């Protein structure tokens, strides 16, 4: 068997086209969605991802402000910049690129972002909304993964989904999203004794452990859907958490790296930013409407 490829580039273009239409409608009403991106330090991968975000904004008509700070910026100074963007009416989305330098606590910074502008969906208010199934911004990477599963028409109800990794930005929200759609979910992590024993039972594996080629073909149930969130820079180049060659011989569906989840992450960020602009516009409209007497 050779797995069918889930093409994240094509799927992200479809999302971007929708976002561009929504942006055009907002602009026609005099509102330009705006995203503020805060980038701290010299992490080269972060610079790549942020450049992609800024370019993507440009392509769909979203205004972006990229603010770059030296790695030595204090937590207080960074918090002050976040708070300034919270007050800025032209900014509808704020994101702080992760990881941050070790002297800055990411949770403290994320907590300072207004939940209404938290287009990364990392604030505890939005994390709580996801947990309870109420309205809020959902993290871009797991939302992109769900979109990919929907795009191939995959029914999650009754399936066994295994998530590799328990990060706040991918593993945990991913598990909740799969659970909320009726899957039976197992999370494997660093302390799981034998990951293969678990993944061989999975109908879907989402690999987000941050370990190059962790999931091999011999750890996959034939026909399973494999979603690779990994983004590892090795001597051999960029590779995912899945050993693509051996996995594709066993799986039913598989995402490539690059060209899989990454482009969908960026597309979901654009979608969240435009949603935020639409919501803020609605609030402003209702607060300026004169009540009927």
Q: Which residues bind ligand LMY7XDAE (CB under 6 A)?
A: 48-49, 52, 95-98, 120, 140-141, 169, 231, 238, 257-260, 262-263, 265-266
Q: Is 120 a catalytic residue?
A: yes
Nearer to Mg ion, 28 or 102 (CB): 102
Task: Write the interaction track for Mg ion spanning residues 98-127; mark x where CB under 5 A is met and - where it is not.
Answer: ----x-------------------------
* Residue 266 Cβ vs ligand LMY7XDAE, minimum distance, rounded to whole Å: 5
Task: Tell me how many residues contact Mg ion (CB under 5 A).
Answer: 1
Give the one entry of Mg ion, ligand LMY7XDAE, none that residue 259 binds, where binding means its C-beta sits below a cut-off of 5 to 8 angstroms depending on kind.
ligand LMY7XDAE
> Where do runs of H (alpha helix) occur along the chain?
8-28, 44-60, 75-87, 106-112, 124-132, 140-151, 171-180, 195-199, 244-248, 261-288
The vertex-18 CA angle with 262 and 125, nearest 5°, equals: 65
Asked if 118 contacts 92 with a C-beta cutoff of 8 angstroms, the reply is no
Task: Exactly one of 97, 159, 241, 243 is catalytic; name it.
Answer: 97
Tracing tokens 């080629």 back to the chain, one arrives at 213
Nearer to ligand LMY7XDAE, 186 or 232 (CB): 232
| 165 appears as a binding residue in the annotation | yes
CA dist 59 → 30, 32, 55, 154, 278 (Å): 19, 13, 6, 30, 19
Q: 44: buried, middle or exposed (CB in 10 Å: 19+, 13-18, 0-12)?
A: exposed
Annotated catalytic residues are 53, 97, 120
Catalog residues that contact Mg ion under the rule CB under 5 A: 102
């Amino acid at each position: 068997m050779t797995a069918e490829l889930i093409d994240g580039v094509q799927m992200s273009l479809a999302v971007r086209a929708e976002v561009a239409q929504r942006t055009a409608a907002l602009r026609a009403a005099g509102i330009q969605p705006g995203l503020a991106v805060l980038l701290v330090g010299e992490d080269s991968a972060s610079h790549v991802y942020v450049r992609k975000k800024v370019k993507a904004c440009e392509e769909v008509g979203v205004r972006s402000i990229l603010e770059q700070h030296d790695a030595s910026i204090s937590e207080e100074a960074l918090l002050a910049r976040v708070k300034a963007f919270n007050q800025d009416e032209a900014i509808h989305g704020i994101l702080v690129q992760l990881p941050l330098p070790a002297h800055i606590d990411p949770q403290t910074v994320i907590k300072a972002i207004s939940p209404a502008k938290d287009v990364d969906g990392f604030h505890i208010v939005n994390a709580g909304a996801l947990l309870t199934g109420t309205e809020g911004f959902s993290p871009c990477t797991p939302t992109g993964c769900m979109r990919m599963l929907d795009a191939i028409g995959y029914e999650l109800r009754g399936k066994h989904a295994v998530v590799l990794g328990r990060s706040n930005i991918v593993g945990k929200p991913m598990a909740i999203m799969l659970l909320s759609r009726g899957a039976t979910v197992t999370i494997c992590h660093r302390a799981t004794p034998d990951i293969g024993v678990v993944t061989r039972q999975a109908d879907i594996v989402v690999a987000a452990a941050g370990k190059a080629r962790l999931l091999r073909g011999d750890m996959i149930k034939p026909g399973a859907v494999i979603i690779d969130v990994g983004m590892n820079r090795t001597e051999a180049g960029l590779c995912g958490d899945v050993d693509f060659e051996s996995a594709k011989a066993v799986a039913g569906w598989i995402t490539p790296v690059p060209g899989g989840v990454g482009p969908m992450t960026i597309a979901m960020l654009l979608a969240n930013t435009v949603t935020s602009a639409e919501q803020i516009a609605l609030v402003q409209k209702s607060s300026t409407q004169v009540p009927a007497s």
